């Protein structure tokens, strides 16, 4: 009997947690239902921006070889570990030569230096200082010819330093491989022509490379892959119009295999008017002199949120085509203000005045490919009863006071004054993936306005009221901390 009593006691303990969870869930669902039920169908007033961020000042650099211009890169004003950055790669052949194309805006280049690192030993195997440049169209062209003999198929990391009269020393990071017959131009042509053919609805030449499992006419174009119907891969009857340049990034390169990404924007006529969509296509291809295969293909299409086209109904906030799930909406207790993040922008909606503001974005007015760099993220942390919002930006800072740095910035948006101010900036000499794996995962504001975040396995706290930053615990794994936004606690072991 004692064992049986213990058994029922254990069940009761679990049942208490379950009941508590269900009550919280029902409370949340009820709050959401009340919030959306009081919305009327209406169009937003004109969008406004809280503050215009100054234009980016650091040069944009691309690489070119075998006639292929690719690998758009943003510069860093602080040095990072070259072995950690794995965003792009360029392939060279036996002459070991390639080019760097520098966007000339706000640029007065004095010298370009490069250092080549063996990715296994970490040792520098080649270096040079270049002071003679060429001009091609609008670009400043740097001809790079690696003097040290590179091993075939071995991966190297490159740190390229641009010495600029205006910006000082700016660092760019990429990887390098040598092959006797890289076939870079042929592989790039396959990728770019496949994309062009699909946009024009002329996919027939590439049908043999697809693995379509059905021939239906679906309606969800947010995500398309190699197994979708030829009709869907060719954009169906949407008839997209290209409205930007296509940026090719080569992510991985082997003797026969290339992994690449195309990024661009299109305009599509919809039932609510013309809309702009940002597109990312991912390819994995294998190619030799005698055969070629498409190993994988994915296409992500994201509607660019346009307040002029969006509306609030009594059931939903219409955000458009997207593969993003779980968009979180923050509201104050009276549900008179709402904030959310969409496509790299932080939006603020005043339900009383029916106005929508862009509080923060790195994108310029044209949403150019250069300014919509995807190596950073915005996260809302809290909304206060008066409508003020605390949010953070982490990763690469594309524009503004911290342009060219990586780290985490904490801001507070003052709703009454329609402005935001920086509370804290923590520079972190790591890549975006490294930062997002810690700060992007462990971040929390307590009910006492204490902001906790994890950095280099150390847990830090920042007091928003006293402006005090301190280390809470060192050598801590992110899996050993638990926090609850709804119940207002953080704990660790």
Same domain? For 125 and 203 the reply is: no
Which pLDDT score, from 0 to 100, does residue 422 have? 94
CA atoms of 72 and 396, how far apart (whole Å): 14
Which pLDDT score, from 0 to 100, does residue 356 have? 85
Of the three residues 112, 147, 178, the one that is the final residue of a domain is 178
Residue 116 lies inside a defined structural domain of this protein: yes
Which pLDDT score, from 0 to 100, does residue 457 have? 86
Same domain? For 133 and 242 the reply is: no
Which pLDDT score, from 0 to 100, does residue 35 have? 32
Going by C-alpha positions, the residue among 193, 208, 270, 261 that lies closest to residue 239 is 270
User: Number of H helices and number of E strands within the chain?
Assistant: 4, 33
CA atoms of 184 and 252, how far apart (whole Å): 12
CA atoms of 286 and 269, how far apart (whole Å): 36
Same domain? For 131 and 262 the reply is: no
Same domain? For 208 and 296 the reply is: yes
Please report, for residues 38, 66, 125, 243, the alpha-carbon distance to residue 255 in angstroms, rounded to integers and kept in the order given: 60, 15, 22, 34
Of the three residues 268, 303, 338, the one that is the final residue of a domain is 303
Which pLDDT score, from 0 to 100, does residue 322 have? 75
For the ranges 51-55, 155-159, 376-380, the lowest mean pLDDT is seen at 51-55
Same domain? For 236 and 163 the reply is: no
Residue 248 has pLDDT above 70, yes or no: yes
Residue 184 has pLDDT above 90, yes or no: yes
Which pLDDT score, from 0 to 100, does residue 56 have? 76
Residue 472 lies inside a defined structural domain of this protein: yes
Report the CATH number at residue 297.
Answer: 3.10.450
Average pLDDT, the chain: 84
Summarised one tens digit per residue, pLDDT across range 335-360 is 999 999 988 899 999 888 888 889 99
Residue 267 lies inside a defined structural domain of this protein: yes
CA atoms of 115 and 171, how far apart (whole Å): 11
Contact 109, 164 (CB under 8 A): yes
Which pLDDT score, from 0 to 100, does residue 5 have? 41
Instruction: Show Cβ contacts of residue 476 under 8 Å, excluding neighbours closer than 6 positions.
Output: 454, 457, 458, 459, 492
Residue 121 lies inside a defined structural domain of this protein: yes
Contact 62, 150 (CB under 8 A): no
Contact 89, 55 (CB under 8 A): no
Which pLDDT score, from 0 to 100, does residue 4 have? 37
Contact 339, 347 (CB under 8 A): yes
Find where tokens 């010495």 sit. Answer: 163
CA atoms of 429 and 397, how far apart (whole Å): 12
Which pLDDT score, from 0 to 100, does residue 232 have? 95
Residue 2 has pLDDT above 70, yes or no: no
Instruction: Show Cβ contacts of residue 4 under 8 Å, excluding neighbours closer than 6 positions.
Output: none
Which pLDDT score, from 0 to 100, does residue 25 have? 40
For the ranges 15-19, 66-70, 225-229, 297-301, the lowest mean pLDDT is seen at 15-19
Which pLDDT score, from 0 to 100, does residue 483 have? 60
Q: pLDDT tier at 7 (50, 70, 90 boundaries)?
A: very low
For the ranges 31-45, 212-226, 261-275, 364-378, the lowest mean pLDDT is seen at 31-45
Transcribe 63-81 into DSSP letters: EEETTEEEEEE--BSS---
Residue 416 lies inside a defined structural domain of this protein: yes
Find where tokens 């049908």 sit. Answer: 207
Same domain? For 214 and 109 the reply is: no
CA atoms of 41 and 39, how far apart (whole Å): 7
**Nearest 10 degrees: CA dihedral of 14, 17, 18, 20?**
160
Residue 41 has pLDDT above 60, yes or no: no
For the ranges 52-56, 102-106, 384-388, the lowest mean pLDDT is seen at 52-56
- β-strand partners of 413: 389, 420
Which pLDDT score, from 0 to 100, does residue 180 have? 93
Contact 116, 124 (CB under 8 A): yes
Which pLDDT score, from 0 to 100, does residue 493 have? 64
Same domain? For 348 and 467 the reply is: yes
DSSP state of 205: G
**What percentage of the chain has pLDDT greater than the value 90?**
61
Residue 381 has pLDDT above 80, yes or no: yes
Which pLDDT score, from 0 to 100, does residue 369 have? 65
Structural domain including 91 reads: 61-178
- What's this model's pTM, rounded to 2 decimal places? 0.84
Same domain? For 473 and 333 the reply is: yes
Of the three residues 272, 303, 334, the one that is the final residue of a domain is 303
Residue 35 lies inside a defined structural domain of this protein: no
Q: pLDDT tier at 306 (50, 70, 90 boundaries)?
A: confident
**What percentage of the chain has pLDDT greater than the value 70?**
81
Residue 46 lies inside a defined structural domain of this protein: no
Same domain? For 143 and 194 the reply is: no
Residue 375 lies inside a defined structural domain of this protein: yes
Which pLDDT score, from 0 to 100, does residue 23 have? 41
- Label residue 62 left, alpha or beta by phi (over 0 means left) and psi (-120 to 50 means alpha): beta
Mean pLDDT of 143-162: 96
Same domain? For 172 and 214 the reply is: no
Q: pLDDT tier at 327 (50, 70, 90 boundaries)?
A: confident
Residue 221 has pLDDT above 80, yes or no: yes
Going by C-alpha positions, the residue among 429, 336, 450 that lies closest to residue 385 is 336
Q: What angle do CA 289, 295, 299 make, to 5 degrees?
A: 125
Same domain? For 115 and 67 the reply is: yes
Indicate the burial class of 483 (C-beta count within 10 angstroms; 0-12, 13-18, 19 or more).
Answer: middle
Which pLDDT score, from 0 to 100, does residue 22 have? 46
Report the CATH number at residue 96.
Answer: 2.60.40
Indicate the burial class of 234 (C-beta count within 10 angstroms; 0-12, 13-18, 19 or more).
Answer: buried
Same domain? For 299 and 271 the reply is: yes
Summarised one tens digit per residue, pLDDT across range 171-183 is 999 999 999 999 9
| Count of structural domains within the chain | 3
**Element at 413 (helix H, strand E):** strand 406-414
């Amino acid at each position: 009997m004692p064992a049986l009593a213990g058994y029922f006691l254990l069940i009761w303990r679990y049942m208490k947690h379950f009941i508590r969870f269900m009550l919280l869930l029902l409370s949340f669902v009820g709050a959401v239902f009340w919030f959306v039920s009081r919305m009327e169908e209406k169009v937003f007033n004109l969008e406004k921006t809280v503050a215009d961020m100054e234009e980016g000042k650091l040069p944009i650099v691309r690489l070119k070889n075998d006639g292929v211009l690719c690998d758009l890169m943003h510069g860093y004003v602080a040095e990072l570990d070259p072995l950690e950055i794995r965003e792009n790669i360029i392939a060279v052949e036996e002459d070991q030569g390639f080019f760097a194309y520098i966007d000339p805006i706000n640029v007065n280049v004095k010298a370009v230096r490069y250092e080549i690192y063996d990715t296994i030993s970490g040792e520098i195997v080649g270096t040079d200082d270049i002071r003679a440049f060429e001009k091609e169209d609008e670009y400043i062209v740097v001809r790079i010819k690696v003097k040290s003999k590179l091993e075939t198929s071995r991966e190297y990391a490159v740190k390229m330093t641009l010495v600029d009269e205006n910006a000082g020393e700016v660092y760019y990071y990429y990887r390098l491989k040598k092959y006797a017959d890289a076939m870079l131009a042929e592989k790039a042509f396959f990728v770019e022509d496949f994309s062009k053919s699909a946009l024009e609805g002329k996919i027939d030449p590439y049908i043999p490379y697809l693995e379509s499992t059905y021939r239906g006419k679906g309606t969800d174009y947010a995500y398309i892959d190699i197994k979708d119907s030829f009709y869907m891969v060719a954009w169906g009857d949407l008839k997209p119009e290209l409205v930007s340049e296509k940026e090719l990034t080569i992510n991985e390169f082997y003797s026969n295999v290339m992994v690449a990404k195309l990024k661009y924007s299109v305009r599509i006529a919809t039932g609510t008017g013309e809309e702009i969509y940002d597109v990312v296509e991912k390819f994995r291809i294998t190619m030799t002199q005698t055969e070629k295969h498409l190993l994988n293909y994915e296409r992500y299409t994201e509607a660019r949120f346009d307040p002029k086209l969006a509306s609030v109904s009594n059931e939903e906030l219409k955000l458009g085509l997207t593969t993003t799930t779980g968009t979180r909406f923050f509201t104050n207790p009276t549900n008179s203000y709402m904030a959310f993040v969409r496509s790299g922008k932080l939006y603020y909606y005043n339900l009383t005045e029916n106005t929508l503001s862009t509080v923060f974005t790195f994108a310029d007015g044209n949403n150019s490919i250069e300014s919509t760099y995807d190596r950073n993220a915005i996260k809302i942390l809290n909304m206060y009863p008066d409508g003020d919002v605390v949010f953070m930006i982490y990763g690469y800072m594309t524009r503004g006071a911290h342009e060219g740095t990586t780290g985490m910035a904490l801001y507070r948006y003052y709703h009454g004054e329609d402005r935001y101010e920086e509370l804290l900036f923590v520079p972190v000499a790591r890549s975006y993936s490294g930062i997002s794996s810690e700060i992007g995962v462990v971040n929390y504001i307590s009910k006492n306005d204490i902001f906790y975040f994890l950095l280099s396995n150390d847990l830090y706290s920042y007091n928003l009221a006293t402006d005090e930053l301190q280390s809470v615990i060192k050598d801590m794994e992110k899996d050993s901390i638990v926090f609850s936004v709804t119940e207002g606690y953080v704990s660790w072991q």
